[in-house]
Amino acid sequence: MTTSALHKSKPADQIHCVDPATREPLGSVRVDSPADVDAAVVRAKVAQQAWKKTSFAERRRVLKALLSYCVEHKDEICAEVQRGSGKTRENALLGEIWPACEKLRWMISQGEKHLKPEKVSSGLLAHKRARLEYHPLGVVAAIIPWNYPFQNIINPVIPALMSGNAIVIKPSEWVAWSSAQFILALRKVIEDAGHDPNLIQAVQGFGETGAALARSAVDTILFIGSVGNGRRVVEASAERITPVVMELGGKDAFIVCEDADIEQAAHAAMSGCFINCGQNCVASERILVYDGVYDAFAARALELTSPLRQGSSRDGVVDVGAIATPLQLDVIEKAVAGAVAQGARVLTGGKRIHSDKGNFFEPTILADVTPEMDITRDEVFGPVMLLMRVKDDAEAIRVANGVSYGLSSSVFSNDRDRARKIASELEAGMTAINDFGGVTYMVQGLTFGGVKASGYGRMNGREGLRSMCNIKSVVDDRFPMNRPNRLFPVADADYGRFSGVIELLYGRGLSKKWRGLTKLLSRKS
């Protein structure tokens, strides 16, 4: 039986999980029904009632316990991630544990600052005080994909807890086994810290379980996944007007100008294309290289890619791991075959590795790729470097922006002003200059998210934290005056008086202001 057949076995009341790099069965996870989902949301709401009253110091104490868990159990987590997704040990450590630790560190040191009530000017109402308060929304739903099995879970847990929310997580069916282990472990940390573990819950299943969570009584939804399912979640959320943050796919442009440092750019492209075997929403899916350095860049990229070792980290150190799902393997194979049929040239790789051992696609470089080819529009989400030739800044910007997505991007040039100028023209939520676009994820003070079909709303940073809050505007008296603000009954002269106030305050020039003042003082209507 193939892995996809295992996944699709009916009745689908169990998810049978396998290691994509070895095809060894891992175990089965029960599928939650819509009633189970609703019950989880109710439990989360109950747990949140006590949690929302905790101090920031207490929340920090719990986050510190989570940080200790990540550091002390990193090897176990990496091993579980590897088994669940087929990625390499190093990808698990650098792509899952490190960002989790950094996110916790940032939240522990910065979270309170961004959640404390914030004074704002009361403007014209000088007798009033105004402030913004950040209250938890209640229960956050996180519907997440399979590409970072641990990171995708802990990433929303951290801001949810810091802002006083509970969270119900719907992990991807493809990594249901490892997700179940991680969520159990996080719940234990919460319980050991003296709080209700129902603050963090998992609901497991296929798309139907995700759809049930999107329709449930949660207070906000973070959806990370494909555009098609994102659209379905938005539709489902409309029923209760539940707010959503959409983190969808990408087709990131990676621009290499003729004055770029080719060595630096080539290594960054390796990260952009082959980290996590390309299964990265911020993968550098289109490498746009200027004519003058195209051949040199292609030659260096080929030199770096050809010797890459691929396999399971269980058999020793490898550079590139497996593709996490057999469906994704089909997508990559079809995209590459389509590009070749449309005229792309394979410099290296280009094939799936037929073996009973796991889902592998060779690290691949395709040259002579043009914007007319389908592969430059649709997300590949695999270890495929597409080399496209451009002649100048204007063409690079036009090609970069000529897709429906707008997640991250990169620009390489030794002229920083020029690089910044190109960067500012890119339709993307993130841009890294002289680095792989994914590096922005490691700067936790920055936000993460896209424009166009890549979604809306933001994770990470201040905005990500506040996306889980009811941002409440509060006004009160600067000094207790107890003077009624009498607007009723309306007097004959009121219209003229207020019209005078508006002209006095906002009229341009002294004569207009003078006219406003005279109207204000006049008793005529």
Q: Is 78 in the site for ligand NAD (CB under 6 A)?
A: no
Sign of CA dihedral 356, 362, 368, 370: positive
User: Could you tell me how many residues make up the chain?
Assistant: 525
Q: How far apart are CA 406 and CA 427, in angstroms?
A: 6
Contacts of 499 by beta carbon, 8 Å cutoff, 6+ apart:
516, 519
* 281 part of the active site: yes
Query: Residue 232, interface with ligand NAD (CB under 6 A)?
Result: yes
Question: What is the nearest approach in angstroms of ligand NAD to the Cβ of residue 37?
Answer: 11
- From 80, 96, 173, 247, the catalytic residue: 247
State which of residues 247, 258, 393, 503 lies at the interface with ligand NAD (CB under 6 A): 247
CB-CB contact of 177 with 27 (8 Å)? yes
Cβ 183 to ligand NAD, closest distance in Å? 13
Q: Per rule CB under 6 A, is residue 304 in the interface with ligand NAD?
A: no
Give the nearest distance from C-beta 463 to ligand NAD in angstroms: 14
In whole angstroms, the minimum distance from the beta carbon of 206 to ligand NAD comes to: 6
Binding mask 152-191 for ligand NAD (x = CB under 6 A): ------------------x-xx------------------
How many whole angstroms separate alpha carbon 384 and alpha carbon 340?
Answer: 13
Query: Binding ligand NAD by CB under 6 A: which of 4, 33, 226, 264?
Result: 226
Per CB under 6 A, 439 contacts ligand NAD? no
Six-digit token string for 140: 């956050």
| Three state DSSP letters for 36-96 | HHHHHHHHHHHHHHHHCCCCHHHHHHHHHHHHHHHHHCHHHHHHHHHHHHCCCHHHHHHHH
Residue number, 77 or 281, with CB nearest to ligand NAD: 281
- Contact between 211 and ligand NAD (CB under 6 A)? yes
Residues in Cβ contact with 27 at an 8 Å cutoff, skipping those fewer than 6 apart? 17, 177
**Cα 246 from Cα 455, distance rounded (Å):** 5
Q: At what angle do helices 176-192 and 151-162 cross, to 10 degrees?
A: 30
Using rule CB under 6 A, residue 210 touches ligand NAD: yes
- Residues near ligand NAD (CB under 6 A), total: 27
Q: Which of 78, 257, 281, 469 is flagged as catalytic? A: 281
- Spatial distance between the Cα atoms of 244 and 414, rounded to a whole number of angstroms: 40
Integer Cα distance of 29 and 178 in angstroms: 10
- The reply to whether 345 sits near ligand NAD by the rule CB under 6 A is no
Which position among 69, 146, 150, 412 is part of the footprint of ligand NAD (CB under 6 A)? 146
- Residue ranges in contact with ligand NAD by CB under 6 A: 143-147, 170, 172-173, 206-207, 210-211, 214, 224-226, 229, 232-233, 247-250, 281, 379, 381, 407
Residues annotated as catalytic (active site), given as ranges: 247, 281
